[in-house]
Amino acid sequence: MISKITDISYRLGRQIVIAVIGGTLLLGGVIMLVTPGPGLAAMLAGLAVLAIEFAWARIWLKKLRESVGPVGQAAERSWMRWRQRFFGPRDSGSDTGKK
């Protein structure tokens, strides 16, 4: 009985903390769209935090990734070229399997 109550309390507390942190980042990002600051980055970070616990945020994040797929892939290729130029090739020991 007590174990069940503590489990429910833990899950509810976790959801509240994640909602507050993610919501704050998301709202801060919206504010930073009209004021100086990294608005889009903060909004994406807030959405990513919310996606830890909430399915609707995971769906939005997935749709966003799909809509910027080609642009994101081009940015990743550009980043890898820049990284290789200034820092040398990636160490094969830390490779995550992506090539």
> Above pLDDT 90, what percent of the chain?
39
Domain locations along the chain: 2-86
* pLDDT recorded at residue 34: 92
Q: What is the pLDDT of residues 29-73, one digit of tens each?
A: 999 999 998 988 899 999 999 999 999 999 998 888 888 777 777
Alpha-carbon distance values, 15 to 4, 51, 61, 65, 74 (Å): 17, 11, 18, 24, 35
63 CB contacts (<8 Å, ≥6 apart)? none
Task: Write down the pTM of the prediction.
Answer: 0.63
